[in-house]
């Protein structure tokens, strides 16, 4: 698997640079950029994990929070700079829907085809779905409802205040998970996982992390530059590009991990990737982007009705399926069915 | 109990035919038709169960899916042919509300007056409520939200696509329950139920099924013909008739079974009748009617706000009450209270 | 703790009377009235508990239902008489939000700082959250949705009918808890609590209850008279005063108890105070006020969108956190974070 990402990177990076210099066709370059970013995101993830294994859980958790969605943050940063706020807000919706329904559903389906019933720690799953419900119901729904009765100025103040509250609560959640309640919810008979051996030494990991991030930044900037011409050429809307490009490209490497973990019956890790990373996007990436957007055009965290309803339904389906600590192939199929239904809806408006 | 349905049929069928020929008063005929259909639905249910016991679970499950709501499907079919689409869509709402709140609530109340606490298999109940949530939240709410931003043509395409996705998922759910995970969620100490002895031989069951279906079809057609004159005479709206006539008349025989099962403390069977048959209506009957409606005036699966909110609340109350695998009389009273509150609302608009 | 309330009462009552006669500044008097009411509410609660311990659970439960929210009912009564219906309806919202999110959250947070994990009886908690869901989803949401399609006359009829249904179900819930299912849901190893020794003798309790209620009535009337001048002087809206004054002042004594119980790890009692008293407000106090309002200007139980959404979110967060029978400090922080987010919203509109 990692070999594939290595080859993709080996081909993608030079092609991206050469193609940009020689001004190749926009659509072709768009594809090259996407593939390259997917491969680089894999390197960032692995170097972050190697560092996390060395520096201990607390700093490691913070590292993960910062670099775990590096590709998404970097692409969104350039999109904000270009004033493509619609793309950014749609990409948050996209990550929530794709993580929970498509990646989560596919993992549960594939794992369930191999194992009749797959169990996971229901306390940890509920901790994550509780955070999800907070993120969606409180920090996404409230501004949507109240924004209509507010001046634009107050609405911007509210978005900023909410962003700060969310980041604080996300840091508290890390503190809870890694410090005060580490291991407090380990089930009986469930061994505390040993710290895994890091893949790379600390120096090598930092070198790879730095290099991959710099190259990712360079290519993300180019990618964002092609969004408008590609959108015009193919007739795709900003919303559609946001949901597809930033959401899927930024997280594709994670989806592969989630499915692999489910196939190995390591459902707790799979849940952490699928649900935990959605929490990270909603409670850390989104508010950081709101704060960063003060530099350019302010990005209030106000979704439109269709995006909001789709996210609420995705969270409710996830809660309904993970609430009993047990999954099977049909529950995966139900999540994918939900994803397909939503894809129809977004495609037809 | 079955004797009562026998007598009702013996009186109802000839009266319905004679009355139609002699052009008796519409309201009187309306009552005769309803009573006759209730009695015939009982025969269809019993012959289907006899056949199911003979042909094995898989084919039996499909038989049940097809004939279990035969009365509802047949009445709706004639209503579609007459262009009474409002009646059909309201009848789906009616079945959801009456099954979950009235039949479910009354069963739990009556069972709870006899037994202090009644237990049931929480995995099976959650499987059904998960399907309910999918049916309501995904396939009913999404079209409602997105339809406003779509052309009529796209909306018809969406309804058709959703109908197909729902039928496929319903068949997958049957496959899951009857093939891959048969008995996988049986609780400890809970014996796998032995296959019950069929009431009738295969030949007799097929004969009764055929005869009852034909007569039911004949009477349903007449019944639909009286809906408009009766509505005008009594001042009832299409919505009200849909919620009462098709919903209650089509399922009355089932309600009697549900209450009887609760009284005997067979709560798993009761839940399967009350909740499972709601799932069947939402995920099988409704989409089939959408597909059939292509023959006449297309029936998009778009409910109005009041119907949708009422169904969402009914599902939430059901989940809240069944989620702990334990019921008592007060929970039944709460469901009936919800039903009464809704009846007030629908009566007053 | 009780000594503090004694001192507050000793200072507050004479100052309130003297200040009113001498026509002191409105804002100062407003503060005196609030403090005095908080201290008197403490006496009403304690005398009610003493009486309840003597007269047995059933009558005691009814006493609690009637006098447990005496301060809130009395203030609301005078507000209704003055035609301040907006204040009354907002105060119901305020009690729900403050009880569940602020008092509940602070109790769970403080208890969680002392104990790693706090357990409570999940059946009792679910009984209460089930009632909450009924109160909010059925009796608050339905009129909101249907009122738009109804004449004012029908809407008033609906509100009255709902009020009666709610009071009946609340009495049934008491009957369930105190008579038919007393002790039926006590967990294993969890001792049935012995009846506590009453603090005061029956005669003394009745005397204190009578005296405190009379004085509370006198001061509540004066307090309501200052609402408009204070609102004008400080620029506070009716909604804000409703959420703060009536909600917090009327229940402050209870909040102290809830936090104290959590600190002592008596989570079942804490849940009963925080959630049970919210149920009481929604299912008993609110409908009683609706019925009483026939004497003055009718108060239909129709909230505005922002109030309704805030209450729905508060209930969902409570369910999400109490559903596993286990709390920790982070869950308390999440509830308080929700409360702070809502406070921002209501402050900015």
More confident residue, B59 or C263: C263
When pLDDT is cut at 50, 70 and 90, the band that residue C338 belongs to is very high
More confident residue, A327 or C347: A327
Strands (E), A224-337: 326-327
What are the DSSP calls for C17-68, one per residue? HHHHHTT--HHHHHHHHHHHHHHHHHHHHHHHHHHHHHH-HHHHHHHHHHHT
**How far is it between the farthest Cα atoms of chain B?**
61
Tell me: pLDDT of B190 over 70: no
Tell me: pLDDT of C334 over 90: yes
Q: pTM for this one?
A: 0.89
What is the average pLDDT across A290-304? 88
CB B325 within 8 A of CB B125: yes
| pLDDT value, residue B175 | 87
Tell me: pLDDT of A91 over 70: yes
Residues 6+ apart with CB under 8 A from B300: B143, B147, B155, B156, B158, B159, B290
Place of tokens 């990618």: A223
| pLDDT value, residue C141 | 93
Tell me: pLDDT of B188 over 80: no
Q: What residues in B contact C150, CB-CB < 8 Å?
A: 348-349
| pLDDT value, residue B111 | 92
- C330 and A CB contact within 8 Å: yes
Question: Per the CB < 8 Å rule, is C172 touching B330?
Answer: yes
* DSSP 8-state code for residue A150: S
Token pair belonging to A88: 């950014």
| pLDDT value, residue A195 | 54
Q: What residues in C contact B341, CB-CB < 8 Å?
A: 138-139, 142, 162, 165
How far is A216 from A76, CA to CA, in rounded Å?
Answer: 12
More confident residue, C194 or A168: A168
CB A325 within 8 A of CB A125: yes
Place of tokens 């917090």: C248
Chains touching A, CB cut-off 8 Å, 3+ pairs: B, C
| pLDDT value, residue B337 | 93
pLDDT in tens, B119-134: 888 888 888 889 999 9
How far is A271 from A252, CA to CA, in rounded Å?
Answer: 16
What is the average pLDDT across A262-282? 86
Question: Per the CB < 8 Å rule, is B169 touching A337?
Answer: yes
Kindly report the backbone phi and psi dihedral angles of residue C327, in degrees, each rounded to the nearest multiple of 5, phi listed first: -125, 160
pLDDT in tens, C86-106: 888 888 999 899 989 999 999
Token pair belonging to B55: 């042909």
The Cα-based distances of C146 to B343, C225, C245 in angstroms read 12, 34, 30
Q: Which value does ipTM take for this structure?
A: 0.87
CB C121 within 8 A of CB C267: no
**Residue A23 falls in which region: left (phi positive, over 0), alpha (psi -120 to 50) or beta:** left
Q: What residues in B contact A310, CB-CB < 8 Å?
A: 142
Tell me: pLDDT of C318 over 70: yes
Q: Which of B1, B58, B299, B43 is nearest to B181 (CA)?
A: B58
Q: What is the Cα gyration radius of chain C?
A: 20
| pLDDT value, residue C290 | 92
How far is A90 from A308, CA to CA, in rounded Å?
Answer: 10
Kindly report the backbone phi and psi dihedral angles of residue A332, in degrees, each rounded to the nearest multiple of 5, phi listed first: -65, -45
| pLDDT value, residue C195 | 54
CA distance, residue C94 to nearest chain A CA (Å): 16
| pLDDT value, residue C317 | 94
CB A180 within 8 A of CB A145: no
| pLDDT value, residue B290 | 92
| pLDDT value, residue C162 | 92
**How far is it between the farthest Cα atoms of chain A?**
61
pLDDT in tens, B131-156: 999 999 998 999 899 988 888 888 89
Tell me: pLDDT of B57 over 80: no
| pLDDT value, residue B41 | 85
- C113 and A CB contact within 8 Å: no
Question: Per the CB < 8 Å rule, is B181 touching A306?
Answer: no
- B184 and A CB contact within 8 Å: yes
- A172 and C CB contact within 8 Å: yes
**Domain A2-348 superfamily per CATH:** NCX, central ion-binding region (1.20.1420.30)
Return the residue of B nearest to C177 by Cα: B330
3-state helix, strand, coil in chain C (%, to 5): 80, 0, 15
How far is B107 from A222, CA to CA, in rounded Å?
Answer: 64
Please state the separation of Cα A124 from the chain's center in Å.
19
CA angle B143, C311, C147 (to 5 degrees): 60
Q: What residues in A contact B325, CB-CB < 8 Å?
A: none
Tell me: pLDDT of B168 over 90: yes
When pLDDT is cut at 50, 70 and 90, the band that residue B195 belongs to is low
pLDDT in tens, C128-181: 889 999 999 998 999 899 988 888 888 899 999 999 999 999 999 988 888 887
In chain A, count H helices and then E strands: 17, 2
Which of A126, A134, A164 would you mutate first to test chain C, the one with the most C CBs within 10 A? A134
Q: Which of A3, A2, A8 is nearest to A219 (CA)?
A: A8
How far is A119 from A125, CA to CA, in rounded Å?
Answer: 11
Question: Per the CB < 8 Å rule, is A349 touching B142?
Answer: no
| pLDDT value, residue B48 | 83
Kindly report the backbone phi and psi dihedral angles of residue C43, in degrees, each rounded to the nearest multiple of 5, phi listed first: -70, -40
Tell me: pLDDT of A213 over 60: yes
What is the average pLDDT across B61-86? 82
pLDDT in tens, A127-164: 888 999 999 999 899 999 998 888 888 889 999 999 99
| pLDDT value, residue B26 | 87
Tell me: pLDDT of A265 over 70: yes
- Name which of A134, A157, A173 is nearest C317 (Cβ-Cβ): A134
When pLDDT is cut at 50, 70 and 90, the band that residue A234 belongs to is confident
| pLDDT value, residue C8 | 87
Domain ranges for chain A, please list them.
2-348
Tell me: pLDDT of C65 over 70: no
Residues 6+ apart with CB under 8 A from A61: A52, A174, A177, A178
| pLDDT value, residue A190 | 52
Question: Per the CB < 8 Å rule, is A142 touching C310?
Answer: yes
Kindly report the backbone phi and psi dihedral angles of residue B148, in degrees, each rounded to the nearest multiple of 5, phi listed first: -65, -25
Place of tokens 């203030």: C75
How far is A120 from A104, CA to CA, in rounded Å?
Answer: 14
Tell me: pLDDT of C185 over 80: no
Q: Which of A258, A255, A257 is nearest to A247 (CA)?
A: A255
When pLDDT is cut at 50, 70 and 90, the band that residue C188 belongs to is low
Mean pLDDT, chain C, whole residue set:
86
Place of tokens 């496929």: B168
* DSSP 8-state code for residue B98: I
Find the DSSP H helices in C98-201.
Answer: 104-114, 122-133, 142-147, 152-175
Q: Which of C257, A317, A124 is nearest to B136 (CA)?
A: A317
């Amino acid at each position: 698997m990692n070999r594939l990402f290595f080859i993709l990177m080996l081909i993608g990076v030079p092609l991206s640079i050469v193609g940009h210099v020689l001004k190749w066709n926009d659509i072709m370059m768009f594809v090259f950029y996407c593939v390259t970013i997917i491969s680089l995101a894999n390197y960032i993830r692995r170097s972050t994990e190697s560092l996390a294994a060395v520096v201990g859980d607390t700093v490691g958790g913070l590292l993960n929070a910062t670099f775990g969605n590096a590709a998404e943050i970097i692409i969104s940063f350039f999109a904000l700079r270009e004033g493509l706020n619609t793309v950014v807000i749609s990409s948050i919706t996209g990550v929530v829907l794709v993580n929970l329904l498509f990646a989560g559903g596919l993992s549960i389906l594939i794992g369930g085809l191999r194992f009749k019933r797959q169990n996971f720690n229901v306390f940890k799953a509920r901790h994550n779905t509780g955070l999800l419900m907070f993120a969606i119901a409180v920090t996404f729904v409230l501004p949507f409802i109240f924004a209509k009765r507010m001046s634009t100025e107050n609405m911007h103040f509210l978005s900023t205040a909410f962003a700060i509250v969310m980041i604080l609560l996300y840091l508290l959640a890390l503190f809870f998970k890694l410090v005060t309640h580490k291991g407090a919810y380990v089930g009986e008979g469930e061994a505390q996982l040993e710290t895994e051996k890091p893949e790379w030494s600390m120096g090598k990991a930092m070198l790879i992390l730095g290099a991959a991030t710099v190259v990712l930044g360079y290519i993300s900037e180019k990618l964002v530059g092609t969004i408008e011409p590609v959108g015009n050429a193919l007739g795709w809307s900003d919303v559609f590009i946001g949901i597809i490009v930033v959401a899927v490209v930024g997280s594709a490497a994670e989806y592969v991990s989630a499915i692999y973990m489910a196939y190995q019956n390591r459902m707790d890790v799979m849940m952490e990737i699928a649900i935990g990373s959605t929490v990270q996007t909603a409670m850390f990436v989104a508010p950081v982007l709101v704060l960063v957007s003060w530099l350019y055009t302010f990005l209030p965290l106000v979704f439109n009705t269709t995006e909001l309803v789709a996210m609420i339904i995705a969270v409710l389906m996830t809660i309904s399926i993970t609430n009993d600590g047990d999954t099977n192939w049909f529950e995966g199929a139900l999540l994918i069915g939900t994803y397909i239904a939503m894809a129809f809806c977004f495609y037809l408006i």
